[in-house]
Amino acid sequence: MIEIASGTPQRLARAWLWLGLVALIGSGLLAILLVLSRTPGIQDVLPLKEFFRAALVVHVDLSVAVWFMAFAAVIWSAAGGAGLAWLGWAGFVLATAGTVVMTVSPFFPGADPLLNNYIPVLQQPVFFASLWICGAGFSLAVLRTLVTIRPRAAAPLQVGAFLGAVAGFLALAAFFLSWWAVPKIEDKIYYEVLFWGGGHTLQFQHALLMVVAWLWIAAHLGRPSGASGRVLSALFWVAALPLLVVPAIYLLVPAGSLPHMELFAKLMEWGHPYMGPLIFVGFLGLWGVRGVAAHPAKSAFIASFALFAVGGVLGYMIRGVNVVIPAHYHGSTVGVTLAFMGLAYVLLPRLGFGEAQGRMARWQPYVYGVGQLIHVLGLAWSGGYGVQRKVAGADQMLTTLPQKIGMGMMGLGGLIAVIGGIMFVLVCLKLMWPRKTA
């Protein structure tokens, strides 16, 4: 388990946790409208079809890009030293400013949405400015991490955090190289290609840091992995080996070409199995905490592993372009989110906040996880009956009872998940909000 040094590491981790929480609040508010816009019956009463796409862009970017990167910076700050504090604070200020600009960008003229994968965009200068500002902030956080974390074999969590930063560095470099090299073509295709390489690479960062969170939670609950530190460190290095292919793809194949995109798809298919041994260690950690008394972090660990496993299985069931695809990535990304929520419960008292206790904190991961599981299974069911992705309202063409049942499950699960997300925010705000002293 990582011991968080007082001073800069603790203060930076606190600041990044606040940014991640703010991103979740904004994303959750938008999620309510997104779920309503696709739920049979409600979609006819509230004509949110035109709002759906613009809201979806900002919702995804806040809940995936900003939240994940902000919490990654929490881990990196906690695991790193006190050096280059100015770089860490500069990154935080830029990322915060970019997040604020992104949140208000839909209210500016010309917010034409494009629902490309990984980082959907609004085609307007304000939104693109927010991406550049956020990107600059997170880049500074990654660079500081690579300098301040020493990946020692006896400290596997630091190794995992460091390799997560390596993946983040390669992903950000891939975004920039694609922006520089991909020729400007039709917008929808251009942004799909632009974020393809970096988006695929970023999944390795999320997966590595998810396992860091699992192992940290298990150690906090008194059930550290039975594997030695050196073995765990070696497994982290094995899981990161596919990252060596990323610069090779950019050097050998023109960015944006069909072979370029096919190779990154193969990287996901062939590279993620290298995570297998680490996932198994995570399962052993989960098995080890089964007898531990109820704890919010334990609840999050259980829910995280279950959702990540479901998402992984659905990834091998994708056939065509339908809502099985979002079912897959919702399961996987929610697995990461729940791991980060659980680690947040562990870190709160270590960062000078209160300790998460009580029934709301213990049940929150289950409410969020069950809601997301119903949501995911509803999408997977509907995808099997041909419901297309990235559409809302009448465009979904829900003509059969199975389609309507599946999307109804999606709506119900989504609303339950929103309640679970609100519970997490409330628990954290109660513990993090400054209290007046007499």
Q: In this structure, which topology does domain 294-438 adopt according to CATH?
A: Four Helix Bundle (Hemerythrin (Met), subunit A) (1.20.120)
Task: Dump strand ranges (E) for 184-315.
Answer: none
C-beta of residue 50 within 8 angstroms of C-beta of residue 95: no
Confidence (pLDDT) at 333: 87
Which ranges of 39-84 would DSSP assign to H, the alpha helix? Answer: 42-45, 49-60, 67-79
SS3 122: strand
Cα 180 → chain centroid = 26
Confidence (pLDDT) at 314: 75
CB atoms within 10 A of CB 212: 26
pLDDT per position in the chain (438 positions), as tens? 677 878 889 999 999 999 999 998 888 777 776 666 656 555 555 445 556 677 778 888 998 899 999 999 999 999 988 889 999 999 999 999 999 999 888 778 777 888 888 899 998 899 999 999 999 999 999 999 999 998 887 789 999 999 999 999 999 999 999 999 988 877 778 998 999 999 999 999 999 999 999 999 999 998 877 778 889 999 999 999 999 999 999 999 998 889 999 999 889 888 888 999 999 999 998 988 888 889 999 999 999 999 998 887 776 666 555 556 666 667 788 999 999 999 999 999 999 999 998 899 999 999 999 998 888 887 776 655 455 444 444 444 445 666 666 667 777 887 888 889 899 999 999 999 877 544
Q: Give me the residue label for tokens 């194949």.
A: 253
Q: Which two tokens stand for residue 290?
A: 């089964």
Confidence (pLDDT) at 38: 58
- The span from the CA of 409 to the CA of 38, in Å, is 11
Q: Give me the residue label for tokens 């960008």.
A: 105
Side-chain half-sphere exposure of 12, counting CA atoms within 13 A: 33
- The span from the CA of 197 to the CA of 414, in Å, is 29
Angle between helix 196-220 and helix 276-288 axes, rounded to 10 deg: 30
SS3 318: coil
Angle between helix 245-252 and helix 156-181 axes, rounded to 10 deg: 10
Side-chain half-sphere exposure of 261, counting CA atoms within 13 A: 13
Q: Which two tokens stand for residue 399?
A: 């003509």
Confidence (pLDDT) at 142: 96
Side-chain half-sphere exposure of 280, counting CA atoms within 13 A: 9
Domain boundaries, the chain: 1-149, 294-438
Global pTM? Answer: 0.89
Confidence (pLDDT) at 205: 95
Residues near 438 by Cβ (< 8 Å), separated by ≥ 6? none
Q: Does domain 1-149 have CATH number 3.40.630?
A: no
Phi-psi region of 435 (alpha: psi -120 to 50; beta: other; left: phi over 0): beta
C-beta of residue 105 within 8 angstroms of C-beta of residue 111: yes
Best CA proximity match to 380, nearest among 334, 308, 319: 319
SS3 112: strand
SS3 225: coil
Q: How far is CA 418 from CA 20, 60, 66, 298, 421, in A?
A: 16, 14, 18, 21, 5
